[in-house]
Amino acid sequence: MNERKAIVPEGMEAVYEKIRYAPALKAGNTIYVSGQIGRDADMQLVEGREAQTVQAFENLKLVLSAAGASMNDVVEITSFHTDMRDLPLFMQVRDRYLTAHPLPAWTAVGAHMLGGTPGYIVEIKAVAVLPE
């Protein structure tokens, strides 16, 4: 049976302790990353569409790093968008972070609200697999 381990990077302890979910869960060599939104280390919304998208990817990168992985280990992403017209911007930012080939699978979903608070425009969840 695979051992499961919660991944809680420094600065995200409040997510685990107060909101009560793991930023990621590692099971065997697979890492399941919870949806990452554009909030900074102080849990504040980052303003600006590109800046918020970049912050969501930076948060994803932070969680993966805490699990011993990198963006190159990502095999699948799911992105949630409050405005699907943001997809071209999202793809530009995504392509700065996900450069390994083969590229990961991707699903984009429209959503009414993200992060439980108005103002968030994107959320990114991912699955990464560490090399054997």
In order of start, what are the domains of the chain with their CATH numbers?
4-129 (3.30.1330.40)
- How far, in Å, CA of 92 to CA of 69, rounded? 22
- How far, in Å, CA of 19 to CA of 41, rounded? 15
Note the pLDDT of residue 42.
85
Distances (CA, A) of 61 to 18, 55, 71, 84, 124: 22, 10, 6, 23, 11
Note the pLDDT of residue 43.
84
What do you get for the CA distance between the two ends of the chain, in Å?
16
Note the pLDDT of residue 72.
97
Residues of the chain with confidence (pLDDT) below 50: none
pTM for the model stands at 0.95
